[in-house]
Amino acid sequence: MIPLPRVAPGVAFSPIPIRRGMRVFVLTGAGISAESGIRTFRDAGGLWEQHRIEDVATPEGFLRNPPLVWRFYSERRQQAGLVSPNPAHHAIARLGDFLGEDLFVCTQNVDPLHERAGARGVLHMHGELLRTRCSGCDRPSFADDRAYLDKSPQCECGALLRPDVVWFGEIPKGMDEIGAAVASCDLFVTVGSSGAVYPAAGLACAQVPQCAHRPVRADDLCRARAPRERPLLRRVPPGEGWRAVARPLQAGGLSGSCGSPPACACRAAANLAGPGCPAV
């Protein structure tokens, strides 16, 4: 969990400026998808209350009952076709237009909402719902939005196909790339992540190890400043906080002044934009 010595509404804190050439790492979690109507796994009434993790989200569960697993993910595929990106997705995509390759977007989500909003090069560390791969051979994963509600599909090699998602007990995708991007970023932003699922939950904490005072709620923002030594940290709520900052892109950088607090000083914040500046 990312620590915060102070929790307050975002409007109580000054914005952080973002300018071209600034390296920004954005980590998104289930909360950003929930704003679009996708049910999350851990909230009350979420998916885990109706399914045992061991049955639908482990390699062993797939081996025991492939049709059940495919039905579970096929229903998720059908749901994904009914929802649309929300202002948070669009704001991140516009930030990508502004920063180009200096923006690294990593998501814990398997849905395609970032891409539908126009984001490019998103790294899905837990895989992608609308992709399928073989459970037995090295065939590359492929785009697949079909629903397999009754029968499990097979690969040409004879083995069962499986959703290209990362299950419990499996290694997340792109960890080397993620680690390098976190180590070199100037600003680390989390959007809609509970900070409870590792290894994603440890990314920001690894950058500010001395800030170990109290946990952060999903609707808080965390900020720490030590230029080129440790990145700025900011926690962003996917709902109202993003609606306030999703403004049309304009020339220049994000307004406001960071100041120079100590390296382990953390401050909540919600407004990433200002007049005449691009919104995130």
- Active site residue ranges: 126
CA angle 185, 249, 14 (to 5 degrees): 60
* Long-range Cβ contacts of 56-65 (<8 Å, 24+ apart): 57/167, 57/168, 58/167, 58/168, 58/169, 59/167, 59/169, 59/170, 60/169, 61/167, 62/135, 62/160, 62/162, 62/167
Our CA angle for 77, 122, 17, nearest 5°, is: 130
Q: Which one, of 182, 218, 175, 176, lies nearest residue 32 by Cα?
A: 218
CA distance 65 to 123: 29
Identify any residues that bridge with 235 across adjacent strands, giving them in sequence order.
190
Gap between the Cα atoms of 69 and 163, Å rounded: 9
d(C-alpha 269, C-alpha 201), whole Å: 19
